[in-house]
Structure 1
Amino acid sequence: MSYTSDFKRFVTSQYIFAAVRVTLAVVFPSIIMAYFGVLKEFFLFPLATVFVGLTDQPGPIIRRRNSMLLAVICFFIAATVASLAKGNPAFIFLELLIFGFFFSMIGVYGQRLSAVGALTLVVLAIFVDGHLTGTNVLKSLTIFLAGSFWFVLIFLIVTRLQPYKLASQQIGENYILLGEYLKIRSQLYLPEPNYTRIFDEIISHQIKIKNLQEDTRETVFRTREIIKESTTTSRLLMLMFLNSMDLHEKLMTSESDYKKLHLDSRNTEVLTAMNVFLLNLSAEITNIGIDLQSGVKAKPISNIDGELEKLYTVYYDYRNRQMSAGNLENFMLLRQILMRITDLSSEIKSIYKIFSQDIKLAKSLSSGLDLRQFLNPEEKINFKVFRNNLSLKSMQFRHAIRVTLALLIGYGVTRFSFFPVGHAYWVLITIITIIRPNYSITKHRNYVRLLGTISGALIAYIILWQISNNVILLFLLLTSMILAFSFLKGKYFWAVFFITIYVFLSFNFLKPGNVNVIFKDRLFDTFVAGIIVYLVSYFILPVWEHTQNIDLMKTATQDNINYFEAVMKNFETEKTEESTQDYKMKRKAAMVSLANLSDNFQRMLSDPKNQQKKLEKVHQFVTTSHLFTAYSASLSQFFNGKNLKKYPQIDAEKWTQKIKSELENSLNILNDIPQIDIENDLITPESEIEILLNNRKLELQENEKFDHRDPNKISHLTELKNITELLELMSDVAREQRKALAGFQTFIVKNQSTIVKQ
């Protein structure tokens, strides 16, 4: 991706949009207060605005509004209790105990309330020593409450003016990630590819795509204005998102036997041309995403048909020079890849057409799907869920205990007069922002927090040392705020870096000339908090990632079975609206469970070595699961809703039995029950492929070759050959996965997951 595209992607993203909204909501009243000389007196107003703004998680407008209102109430309660308890260490320890546990436990209700809980604890930490409220507690709390409602008002106004903005930005980001995904996959067509590195990158990127798809699905499918398809914009956005899901599946269909292709060095010219074309398509997908984020109609940046014609010219020239009876199968594989690339090109062109729809035509657009079935079940906020998680088997309960204990230790450390902690609240805030339910994430955030704080403090110190012009300092303050809030959800190092600069500059405006004290205290307090978090997360009820592997492996295997069965049904029945709905739901489940498994494995790599149980076997299982899902997606592309009886030569029943039994045996191993006693090697699907293939080879030997160049036509034999090869690859992968689990039973018995699913 070019630097220009990178810049456009950033400045049009949901993150920069949200960051600018928070920053302006903070800055405008602050400038007015500074003009009248009351900023120090009313400092709690912009501070409250920042906290409420940070609770704004992507999702349906009504949920975002409700979570903000809940945050306002929670913040006010925490600030009030902390202000009344100031100066009484016994009461402060008690409130840290109660608030720390409760507001950590409400994370059982989802990410949105988890953010509200964490920021409530930050508010508690800031008010804990009473230095912000001063002597007039009622006035201070009133100012804080007003600042909280100020951001809610800004939010309501902005969402009323731009109700579809977040959805279009999230959908656009989906396309950008898909463009990057294709860019990674295109490396497989280069000479001597590093398969291990590329597949690791693919799996890692798959996790990002899954997480964003889940967030976008929540926003789009639960937003009333969009789900009812009442306007042209809502209908187009809905179709653009659904098309991104189908495009994701098509991108996965590029899975082929790359090692076999690279064995023949003569294929290099065609494979390199494929790489170039896929990079062009990647740029087109990214362009669609950026324009969606910008809110403008996307137009192709290149002549897709013209570039595709060039690619076919390279293939046909090579085919006419080199094809013979001996390498016929090689050309069939290349032709099949070209067919998939052509389908991908058509999909991208159809997406561009959606952008350019006439308004009258757009009003007739409809998905034809029951979209709410694709959503995860809503977790009702009731005490039963909370009560059921009051157990050491619950990850959230363990996390709540660690948070509470860390806060108590952190505040206790600040009470020792011989310990040079500058600000108790900085220690507590650092603990709250670093510690997470997973040790691996906590470890990463701990390291990044320290590194980002040191880097940001040094830069801020240099800025304040060299620059005294308040206008320049204000500009740098605004820039650092925007960048800090922009990076907060994606690049934690840069978020901490700019937050540190923002904090230093803010304190300089409030108390000029105090930079040395701030520099020393900020670094020391961060270091102290980091040590506390490390000790607590490592020794107090840690949750290691390997304890979740078995459950995730079971889910991934079962979802792959369901997805495979849905694909194989196409050999027997034609597609209907019901079968399409069922297929897409099973596709979604397979891809989500695969991403969850991959994500857990990557976090496991950050755990201590002695907690990386069966690492190689789990890695092999993740890789084979990914391959099987990709092969299933590839197989599904042969069915387009027409007469699906056109492949009678494929013994679908025996292939299904052969592959499914391997997957079921893997599932039985994971469930620690006896394997199904089926001799898979004896299951031999009937096939006429070899007879047809031999006949075609004889034709090539006996007849003169003709230069047929029809990109839209692919021989039935080529399709049959590629379907058979896909089924053989799926059978091999399923068998490899089952063998990888050999000897896993003992480990499974000893390490069954203890985590209660929410």
Structure 2
Amino acid sequence: MNYRSELKKFLTSQYIYSGARIALAIVIPSIILAQFGLLKEYFLFPLGTSFVGLTDQQGPFIRRRNTLLLSVFSFFLIALFASLVKEFPIAVYLEILVFGFFFSMIGVYGLRLATFGSLALVVLSIFIDGHLTGDDIFKSSFIFFLGCLWFFIVFMIVSTLQPYKLASQVVGENYLELADYLRIKAQYYTKKPDFDSLLNQLISQQVKIKNLQEDTREIVFKTRKIVNESTTQSRILMLMFLNSVDLYDKLLTSENDYKKMNEVFGETRLLQSIHNYLMLMANEITNLGISLQSGLSYKQITNFDEELKKIYDDFFEHRSQKFSSETLEDFMMLRQVLMRITEITDEVNTILKVNSQDVKLAKSLSTGLDYSKFLPKEEQLNHKVFLSNFSLKSGHFRHAIRVTVALLIGYIVSRFEILGIGHSYWILITIIAILKPAYSTTKHRNLLRFFGTLAGAIIAYIILYFVDEPSVLLAILLVSMIICFSLLKSNYFWAVLFMTIYIFLSFNFLRPGNVNLIFKDRLLDTLIGGVITFLVAYFILPVWEHTQNLALMKKSSKSNLDYFRLVMDQFLKKDINDEDFRLKRKNAIIDLANLSDNFQRMISDPKNQQRKLETVHQFVTTTHLITAYIASLSQYAKTGHNFPEIDLENWKIKISAELLRTSSLLFQKELDEKTRAESHIKPEDQVVDLLEKRKTELESQVISDERKFGVSHLTEIKNIKELLELINDVAKDQRKIIEEYLIYQSTIAKQ
């Protein structure tokens, strides 16, 4: 691992930028208040700032602005109401029921409002026993409101000064994830790679890229300054993102028979040269991503043409020694690999030209795409969507019930005098932070929170024991806050660790000498909250991942069928527009990533809920291969060349029928005999005859030492035929997997 590069990635990321903004918005007013001796009296001001700051999720400016405004007024009203009814136990339990359910159910409108809802419940937890507002409730609530409003003002100022900053950072992050994807691909060209491990790594990385691309689409395609403005910067940002999607497509299409390649060329230096070249390229893409995140200029280090020429030289040198009629197909395979790498290189070179602020190229950008079609689906804000989820079939409804029950139990337990709990808020906050719709996520976060809290508490205890200089403690507090807010999305353990440190230091500034009490309360409350969360997540209307398998399989199967048919239509010279191709490709990749993500979460479910885990894993693997092979096939379809030697029409009918058989099984539809018969069609190709003819020619002629860098027509048709055969074979395997899976499902249903 290149630690210097990893540090740069973190320091220039949107997370550290956002974390620093929230931390400074909290700390600067706190320092000013402390200078005038008012921090204790106005402690609710920075508290309000922190809550609203955490609702600022990445996305289009208008949505961020509207969510922050909603947060400012909602948090103020919740704090005021909770403080006013604190003396009425029945009212307190009613507000937990109503607020707990409503602010959990609001997640039906998407992740942004789900985050807002969770923080609204944190505000309720903080103010539920009224210890923060004291006797003058209205004054304290107004101070809290001003703190909330302060972050909104900071947000508006920063957004006006740097309107493209977030978009540039997320586009840069896309390139960083693509570089990591390329590094995994490069491992296939090492000696004796672990193919199963690499495949799992690729699938996991695809999930990351899919999630990031979804976020970036929303930010780039819904930011009016980028979509509507004709400035060089807005055009280049748009083009850089679209090119990152195309680069991902190229990387996805570089799927080869790695096992055979390692068997044939594993002992040569060719594969190691390819590995080294791909790693160099990945490093360049990483540097490009860092430059986009930081806003600094990018300077290319590697000369791709020179490095690529060295690989071709090695190839031709080895070819001159080993090429014969027997090794013809092996060298065809390797030449195709080199051409794929050349295409990736061309794509990267194009991206670098765009990033170099080539104004002429930027002004020529006119995609003609309807960007709204590429955006992630988001529920409309109307009451029908909310009410339609009032059913036990709805995951949101079940989650809202779990949260409400857990909060009620947590509050009741906090009132037990025997436990000696001073305030209930930390138990409730722990429940809200850990309890997620998926059991696997809840279980994982539960462990991370407990161990993060324990480690952070010990570190904070040591700091407070040995350090008594206020300026040093303030510096540690600021750094801890920045790191905590920066890591909340990406590394929960470290975020909790640094959160615990800055909470300890904050309380120490307000009430010096209470570190032992804070240590005990924080650990005890976290432990109690964690136990309650685990029990509720396991026993109260749990949603197990295996219940989502079938729906995700259906979507993935259908999108792959649509994608394949469109690619074959391109071969058959049917009129296909670029927007339709991009949409079908996007759907196939997103559905694959969702299916993969579901499987990874399923691994964390209890053993008795990991139903047919191996079968689901086989389906995920075959889906990945089908999508990758179709993507590879599309590269030939887009060349515009004719391939009369391949019976493309019958291949389309045959594979479509095979994919349709799988889809029909999943959707439980009757399959007509025509489709079943079509899956057994034997396309009449001429590729084998042409290969044999070429081998015969080689046996009777001197091997030419001419160095041609292109791919011959024979190599192209051989690879197209192999891809079609691979898609067909994997589609057959997938159908058999589903037949076994559905037999198991019907058996379970009868029991």
TM beyond 0.5: yes
1:393 shift after superposition:
0.6
Per the alignment, residue 625 of structure 1 pairs with: 623
Distance 1:464 1:394 in 2: 48
Distance 1:413 1:405 in 2: 12
Correspondence 1:653 to 2:662: no
Distance 2:369 2:158 in 1: 31
**After the TM superposition, which of the residue ranges 224-233 and 212-221 deviates more from structure 2?**
224-233
Determine if contact 1:299/1:352 at 8 Å carries over to the other structure.
Answer: no
Per the alignment, residue 100 of structure 1 pairs with: 100
Specify the SS of the correspondent of 1:300: coil
Per the alignment, residue 15 of structure 1 pairs with: 15
Q: Please, which runs of 5 or more residues in structure 1 have no aligned partner?
A: 753-758
After superposition, the C-alpha distances for 1:416-444 in whole angstroms (9 at most, x for unaligned) are 11123233100000000000011000000
Per the alignment, residue 699 of structure 2 pairs with: 701
Correspondence 1:539 to 2:535: no
Per the alignment, residue 464 of structure 2 pairs with: 464
Specify the SS of the correspondent of 2:740: coil
Q: Please, which runs of 5 or more residues in structure 2 have no aligned partner?
A: none
Q: Give the partner amino acid of 2:659.
A: L
Specify the SS of the correspondent of 2:623: helix
Distance 1:320 1:728 in 2: 30
Distance 2:358 2:543 in 1: 54
After superposition, the C-alpha distances for 1:164-222 in whole angstroms (9 at most, x for unaligned) are 00000000000000000010111111121111111011101100000000000000001
Specify the SS of the correspondent of 2:293: helix
Per the alignment, residue 665 of structure 1 pairs with: 661
Correspondence 1:714 to 2:714: no
1:271 shift after superposition:
1.5
Determine if contact 1:262/1:268 at 8 Å carries over to the other structure.
Answer: no
Distance 1:114 1:747 in 2: 36
**After the TM superposition, which of the residue ranges 359-368 and 277-286 deviates more from structure 2?**
359-368
Q: Normalised by the size of structure 2, how large is the TM-score?
A: 0.98
Q: Give the partner amino acid of 2:441.
A: I
1:573 shift after superposition:
1.3
After superposition, the C-alpha distances for 1:240-293 in whole angstroms (9 at most, x for unaligned) are 000000000000111111111122256642222111111111111111111111
Specify the SS of the correspondent of 2:739: coil
Distance 2:691 2:663 in 1: 36
1:359 shift after superposition:
3.1
**After the TM superposition, which of the residue ranges 735-744 and 243-252 deviates more from structure 2?**
735-744
After superposition, the C-alpha distances for 1:63-97 in whole angstroms (9 at most, x for unaligned) are 00000111112101210111001233222111111
Distance 1:288 1:751 in 2: 52
Distance 2:688 2:362 in 1: 48
Distance 1:311 1:729 in 2: 28
Paired residue for 2:726, among 709, 724, 729? 729
Determine if contact 1:239/1:366 at 8 Å carries over to the other structure.
Answer: no
Distance 1:361 1:203 in 2: 34
Per the alignment, residue 208 of structure 2 pairs with: 208
Determine if contact 2:572/2:649 at 8 Å carries over to the other structure.
Answer: no
Distance 1:298 1:347 in 2: 17
Specify the SS of the correspondent of 2:705: coil
Per the alignment, residue 605 of structure 2 pairs with: 607
Determine if contact 2:180/2:282 at 8 Å carries over to the other structure.
Answer: yes
Pairs within 5 Å for 1:425-504: 425-504=425-504
**After the TM superposition, which of the residue ranges 624-633 and 283-292 deviates more from structure 2?**
283-292
Per the alignment, residue 368 of structure 2 pairs with: 368
Specify the SS of the correspondent of 2:207: helix
Distance 2:586 2:543 in 1: 28
Per the alignment, residue 31 of structure 2 pairs with: 31
Correspondence 1:334 to 2:334: yes
Determine if contact 2:570/2:638 at 8 Å carries over to the other structure.
Answer: no
Per the alignment, residue 222 of structure 2 pairs with: 222
Q: Normalised by the size of structure 1, how large is the TM-score?
A: 0.97
Rate the CA distance shift 1:448–1:378 in 2: closer, same or farther, 3 A.
closer
Determine if contact 2:434/2:533 at 8 Å carries over to the other structure.
Answer: yes
Correspondence 1:573 to 2:569: no
Per the alignment, residue 313 of structure 2 pairs with: 313
Q: Give the partner amino acid of 1:310.
A: K
Distance 2:623 2:379 in 1: 29
Per the alignment, residue 740 of structure 1 pairs with: 737
1:709 shift after superposition:
1.5
Distance 2:76 2:230 in 1: 39
Specify the SS of the correspondent of 1:418: helix
Q: Give the partner amino acid of 2:652.
A: T
Specify the SS of the correspondent of 1:744: helix
**After the TM superposition, which of the residue ranges 565-574 and 714-723 deviates more from structure 2?**
565-574
Distance 1:618 1:138 in 2: 56
1:3 shift after superposition:
1.6
Rate the CA distance shift 1:118–1:430 in 2: closer, same or farther, 3 A.
same
Determine if contact 1:105/1:386 at 8 Å carries over to the other structure.
Answer: yes
Per the alignment, residue 394 of structure 2 pairs with: 394
Determine if contact 2:191/2:266 at 8 Å carries over to the other structure.
Answer: no
Distance 1:751 1:41 in 2: 62
Aligned residues, how many?
747
Determine if contact 2:186/2:275 at 8 Å carries over to the other structure.
Answer: yes
Per the alignment, residue 756 of structure 1 pairs with: none
Distance 1:43 1:227 in 2: 42
Determine if contact 1:261/1:267 at 8 Å carries over to the other structure.
Answer: no
Determine if contact 1:423/1:525 at 8 Å carries over to the other structure.
Answer: no
Distance 2:58 2:619 in 1: 33
1:386 shift after superposition:
0.7
Percentage of identical aligned residues: 56
Rate the CA distance shift 1:233–1:586 in 2: closer, same or farther, 3 A.
same
